[in-house]
Structure 1
């Protein structure tokens, strides 16, 4: 999981929260990345619609067939709440 853009919480707190749920956090988008969390109030699902280097890299990997799920900060909050409540998510791809 990789973060890009400003979040409403500190980046370190976000990293710790997802790591506590079993995700592996990375500083940059690579071929191992399966989730990209986009901050700054982003509401889309296409990383090409957000202008950061990490979003551009995710768009390039997606164009090559890499499956990268794009989450908004609100999606992340929901995912963390779901994981804490159930302990399991039907499909959790971490990278």
Structure 2
């Protein structure tokens, strides 16, 4: 019935009072990266014109997406207003036909 995990060892590695966690010490700390490392990661190899062109392309793509979202939200708003109007018309027509409920 004895457990292989020792609760005393577990309690010593993590405590609510000092907020230490064994897993946190194993996490790699952030470090400063060189300009060349960053450029290599983003595949521009120091070409500022390519980086600027890529940024411009990404900006245009974002602008198109925002325009599409704006248009779709305007359409949804219009459809919601139409639905509300239709619901009011149906309610009024059903109120006139309500013979089973005393007014």
> In which range does the TM-score fall when normalised by the shorter chain?
under 0.3
TM-score, normalised to structure 1, is: 0.19
State the TM-score, normalized to the length of structure 2: 0.18
Higher relative contact order at CA 8 Å, sep ≥6: structure 1 or structure 2? 1
- Computing the radius of gyration over CA atoms, which structure comes out larger, 1 or 2? 2
More strand by share: 1
Which structure is higher in helix share? 2
